[in-house]
Amino acid sequence: MEQIQLTGPHGPKPKKTTVSRLGVYLFLFSAAVFFCIPLYVMLITSLKGMPEIRLGELFALPGDPSFAAWVKAWGEACSGVECNGIQTGFWNSVKITIPSVAISIILGSINGYALSFWRFKGSNVLFGLLLFGAFVPFQVVIFPLIIFLREVGLYGSLTGIILIHTIFGMPIMTLLFRNYFSSLPDELFKAARVDGANFWQIFFQIMMPLSIPVTVVAVILQTTGIWNDYLLGLIFAGRENLPMTVQLNNIVATTFGVREYNVNMAATILTALVPLAIYLLSGKYFVRGIAAGAVKG
């Protein structure tokens, strides 16, 4: 076959760098710089020694980078009279976060499943009430909650703080899972019922395996939320179980002796490491999970 010679525009449209595109890149770049500078300062300060910090050259790279401040922050920094570093807080936070995340997600998914498939009289009202719970400012209920926990003997205990996190996570977890399950075809549930599966069999064998994307989202939301919590931990956890955030504050705010900026920076980065790692590792799934929930099951 003979090739026909085409004149005029043909084939794919040529891509040109336009002014508006340059503007977009410029904006993105400056936004990235804006968010990176504090992190940069923290990182280099934590690697400097105190004499170097006193020079006041905030943006200068460390002359002799060392992890001494990190080691001290982890194992020796003082908060009040104790000098065990931030590691106690880290392990406390782990002990609080893992059960709280697990329990709130399990309960939230069961709630969401029941509310979207097993509609019963008043289920919409119940859902509305639960949603309302998400908008109640929690300062309002702190005092009654303290009394309640004191009465049942859980105030200032690990169980108590886990219970509190589970309760506060319930509305948003239920909402997340209910919306996700509502996006699944109703016929799937009907088919399982005709097949003879009961409430739990449908939940565990059909719905749970389908809800992996939304579960990833839930894990991210809850882990970062609970890990970053300060107020609830301070109030309900008790002195033995203070989470990392509270202990970080105690270390940074200690007014005794010299302020060790490098240790403070290192302790702060250590505290932020867990949520940061979760975002970096699961960001892809996070976006995918939200998109999957929004469009289709």
Q: Which residues bind another protein (CB under 8 A)?
A: 185, 187-188, 190-197, 201, 205-206, 209-210
Q: Shortest Cβ distance from residue 111 to another protein (Å)? A: 22
Whole-angstrom Cα distance, residue 63 to residue 49?
9
The answer to whether 66 touches 188, Cβ cutoff 8 Å, is no
The dihedral built from the CA positions of residue 83, 87, 88 and 89, taken in this order, carries a sign that is positive
Q: Shortest Cβ distance from residue 198 to another protein (Å)? A: 8
The answer to whether 147 touches 160, Cβ cutoff 8 Å, is no
Q: Which is nearer to another protein, 188 or 272 (CB)?
A: 188
Q: Shortest Cβ distance from residue 177 to another protein (Å)? A: 17
Q: Which is nearer to another protein, 15 or 121 (CB)?
A: 121
Q: Which is nearer to another protein, 51 or 209 (CB)?
A: 209
Closest listed residue to residue 168, CA positions, set 221, 114, 210: 221
Q: Which is nearer to another protein, 156 or 297 (CB)?
A: 297
Q: Which residues contact 61 (CB under 8 A, 6 or more apart)?
A: 44
Q: Which is nearer to another protein, 95 or 288 (CB)?
A: 288
Q: Shortest Cβ distance from residue 223 to another protein (Å)? A: 25
Q: Shortest Cβ distance from residue 202 to another protein (Å)? A: 9
DSSP 3-state assignment of 4? coil
Whole-angstrom Cα distance, residue 160 to residue 150?
9
Q: Shortest Cβ distance from residue 57 to another protein (Å)? A: 57
The answer to whether 297 touches 185, Cβ cutoff 8 Å, is yes
Q: Which residues contact 277 (CB under 8 A, 6 or more apart)?
A: none
Q: 36: exposed, middle or buried (C-beta count within 10 Å: 0-12, 13-18, 19+)?
A: exposed
DSSP state letters, 3-31: PPPP-SS-SSPPP---HHHHHHHHHHHHH
Q: Which is nearer to another protein, 27 or 199 (CB)?
A: 199
